Chain A
Amino acid sequence: MASTPSPEPAGPRDGLIGAAPRDILLFAARTLAWAIVFFGAWYVAAKPISLANSWIAARALEATTPAGSVRVAWRNDRTLFEIRPDASTIYRDRLPADLSVDMEVNTLKQTYGVPFFLALLAAARARRIVAKATAGVAILMVLAAIGIACEVAVGFGMTQVAGAGQPFAPGATAGTLFALGLQLGTLIFPCVVPVVLCVAFAGPARVPAA
């Protein structure tokens, strides 16, 4: 049976869906190789990446919890969240005016999706890789920030101030959403979303026309 060659023959820049088993296994091998590079770079740059994500998370916390201000800093290879309850909470619950709740969070748990995604994308050899990498990293950074905010909110909700109770007691619905966000932020966003983005960005493999 004769076949007409495709104008653009199948090659290394083809997508993932429908790719030949050999190309899929090569993609896996390339991902492992690129993962060494990107995970190493991510670990070296842990501080700026974590602080950038945590800054977004701090703004989310200010919008969704009774936190008047949330400051972030880097301490002991962790991100330190310094939460000051808002004025109305301090007045209502008779909290000390200078009360600050400090929480250390390992934000790498939420941000490892970034090097994983970059390794997958580099291994997939997608076209317009810079634009796709930028878009994917932006999405992952926002999702990581949501996960971080939920983890801090859960911790903030369990904080007890001696003699003054809880500065933040979320309702059942809000508490469930924060807990779900915490779970998604550590178990789903950093490992599933990179895969989904990579498959979407790489697209289907071109099959030579019959």
Chain B
Amino acid sequence: MTRFALVFAGIVLALFAAQLTPPAQAWVVGPWTDAVAHVATWVARAFDPDVTVVGATLYSQPNGFAVTILAGCNGLEAMIVLLAAILAYPAPWKHRLAGLAGGVLAVQLLNIVRIVSLFYIGQWNLAVFEWAHLYAWQALIMLDALIVWLLWLRLLPRNPPALATA
């Protein structure tokens, strides 16, 4: 447990610090955030053709309301935490990669729901938007990552080779 905690904390801090650096912002965080905004716009357009996107900003053409996706809203933090938890736990690499793929999908699917919901909550009530944006959705995304990790742990083989020989 101690080893897991140390490796987990080390990976989280290293990746979190790395994603704050200018190269990571330019080459990873920025393009990723733009991609998230475009996917969210594509989803919103399924029922609202008046939504447009410029960079990482979603606009509502009828009322001019816009939301910009910033750090903390692109799902990267939750992905970093999930990645650290999966890598820190002793498991075969095949299972780690499967967990990461499933985890990224689960986190980003919910993150798209978050962005689209916030886009419409903001047009309805800014006080509720702030509450949902700053507190509720942050916790929900991390709960999502926790549930994915717990399910992944459960799906691991009971006696993986790496553990059996330890």
Interface presence of A21 (CB below 8 A): yes
Q: Is the CB of A24 within 8 A of B16?
A: no
Q: Does B154 sit at the interface, judged by CB under 8 A? A: yes
Contact B12 A188 (CB under 8 A): yes
Q: Which residues of B contact A27 (CB under 8 A)?
A: 147, 150
Q: How far is the CA of A24 from the CA of B143 in the complex (A)?
A: 11
Interface presence of A18 (CB below 8 A): yes
A32 contacts across to B, CB distance below 8 A: 143
In the complex, the answer to whether B138 meets A24 with C-beta atoms within 8 Å is: no
- B139 pairs with A191, CB closer than 8 A: yes
A192 to B15, CA, bound (A): 14
B12 pairs with A192, CB closer than 8 A? yes
Interface size on B, as a range, is 20 to 34
Q: Known: A18-B153, A20-B154. Contact between A28 and B136, CB under 8 A?
A: no
How far does the Cβ of B143 sit from chain A's closest Cβ, in whole Å? 6
Closest to A198 in B: B146
Q: How far is the CA of A195 from the CA of B150 in the complex (A)?
A: 11
Interface of A is mostly: helix
B143 touches A28 (CB 8 A): yes
A25 to chain B, nearest CB (A): 8
Within 8 A of B (CB), among A14-40: 16-21, 24-25, 27-28, 31-32, 35, 39
Distance of A207 Cα from B46 Cα, bound (Å): 46
Interface members, chain A 111-128 (any B CB < 8 Å): 112, 116, 120
Complex contacts, A18 vs chain B, CB 8 Å: 153-154
In the bound complex, residues from chain B placing their C-beta under 8 Å from that of A198 are 146
The answer, yes or no, to whether A71 is at the interface (CB within 8 Å) is: no
Report chain B residues within 8 Å CB of A108. Answer: 134-135
Contact of A31 among B71, B138, B143, B151 (CB under 8 A): B143
> A112 is contacted by which of B77, B135, B154 (Cβ under 8 Å)?
B135
Residues A24 and B139 in contact, CB atoms below 8 Å apart: no
Interface 0/1 of A168-190, CB less than 8 Å to B: 00000000000010011011101
> Chain B: which residue is nearest A192 at the CB level?
B81
In the A-B complex, the 3 residue pairs with the smallest Cβ-Cβ separation, listed nearest first, are A112-B135, A191-B142, A116-B139
Q: List 21 A-B contacts (CB under 8 A).
A: A18-B153, A18-B154, A19-B150, A19-B154, A21-B154, A24-B151, A28-B143, A32-B143, A35-B139, A39-B135, A109-B134, A112-B135, A112-B139, A180-B17, A180-B20, A183-B20, A187-B71, A187-B77, A191-B142, A195-B145, A200-B1
Give the A-binding residues of B (Cβ under 8 A). Answer: 1, 5, 8, 12, 16-17, 20, 71-72, 77, 81, 134-136, 138-139, 141-143, 145-147, 150-151, 153-154
